[in-house]
Amino acid sequence: MAEPGGARFDPTGTYDRAAEDYEVAAQLFWQYVSIRSVERLGLRRGERVLDVPCGTGSALPAAAHAVGPDGRVLGIDGAPAMVAAAQRRVAAAGLDTVEVREGDMRALDPSGPLFDGVVCALGVFFVDEMPGLVRRLVGLLRPGAGRIVVGVFGESFYEPLRSIFVQAVASVAPQIEVVEPWRRTERASTLRGLFEGAGVDGLTIVADSDRFPVRGPADPWRLVVGSALSHTVGLLGDAAAHDVRRRVEADLAAHEIAELVTTTRYAVAWRRP
């Protein structure tokens, strides 16, 4: 994925390396996006659901419970370590109606069995051709009945942590650009535009604002190393990353930051008959 200024971001490699940190951070900060996306699909018993990219599988139990024993759920992710974590989650929960496999969401085959629901939570902003991905995902839905939910972060991304982190990196290593893929879809108008020409009806976009308590000094850094910001941490190197972390934690403490604020948007639509 190309970013402004020529920086490159490799989502597969980044999340393959960060899978363990991602799982911990997801439980604290963002697994709700996947779960709420499933809820917004309005799933019924016996339906087929696709979750892509499924990450470590936060949405899979919720989807499996919604469609019941006669339904089927497929989770796909491009990072092998994320797939392995999702498979462990599914096995531990005894979800025999759920399959998790590795794959490229940009190359999913629409000629196979179609789905009643597709969840794409926190994934669309990782591909270069975002409208093309949305069209492909819509093409995997049953015409006239299949629906899709695309979840993204809005203008606020765990503030003020994000701003403090960016400022700390600029002070310690000004030559390094902080890559923030989610900012590509932070505006509602951009998210809406991804569905133009995708063959959908009833497109609605809803926004949530959530506050997350900072339980201790380690929590914010868990979010950093478990998110796409881990790409920047890797570029910093150990010494500079330690300095950035020290500055972030000192700034949060000095301002007595007790919670982080995030905006999330969900685009919901039906495939046309």
DSSP secondary structure, 124-156, as one string? GGGSS-HHHHHHHHHTTBPTTT-EEEEEEE-S-
For residue 67, give the nearest of 98, 90, 89 by alpha carbon.
Answer: 98
Distance between CA atoms of residues 245 and 120, nearest Å? 31
Is pLDDT of 5 > 50? no
Is pLDDT of 185 > 90? yes
| Phi, psi of 269, rounded to the nearest 5 degrees | -155, 165
Is pLDDT of 18 > 90? no
Contact 34, 6 (CB under 8 A): no
Largest CA distance in the chain: 57
Digit-coded pLDDT (tens) for 69-120: 999 999 999 999 999 999 999 999 999 999 999 999 999 988 788 999 999 9
What pLDDT was estimated at residue 82? 92
Distance between CA atoms of residues 191 and 200, nearest Å? 14
In this prediction, residues 200-209 reach a mean pLDDT of: 97
| CATH placement of domain 4-154+182-211+261-271 | 3.40.50.150
Cα 141 to Cα 48, 77, 158, 269, distances in angstroms = 10, 18, 33, 11
Is pLDDT of 1 > 70? no
What pLDDT was estimated at residue 199? 96
Percent of the chain exceeding pLDDT 90 equals 86
What pLDDT was estimated at residue 147? 98
Digit-coded pLDDT (tens) for 256-267: 999 999 999 999
Residue 128 CB neighbour total at 10 angstroms: 10
Reading the block at residue 21, the tokens are 């940190």
Contact 144, 85 (CB under 8 A): no
Calculate Rg over the CA atoms of the chain.
19
Tell me the average pLDDT of the chain. 93
What pLDDT was estimated at residue 15? 81
For residue 38, give the nearest of 15, 60, 18, 68 by alpha carbon.
Answer: 60
What pLDDT was estimated at residue 4? 38
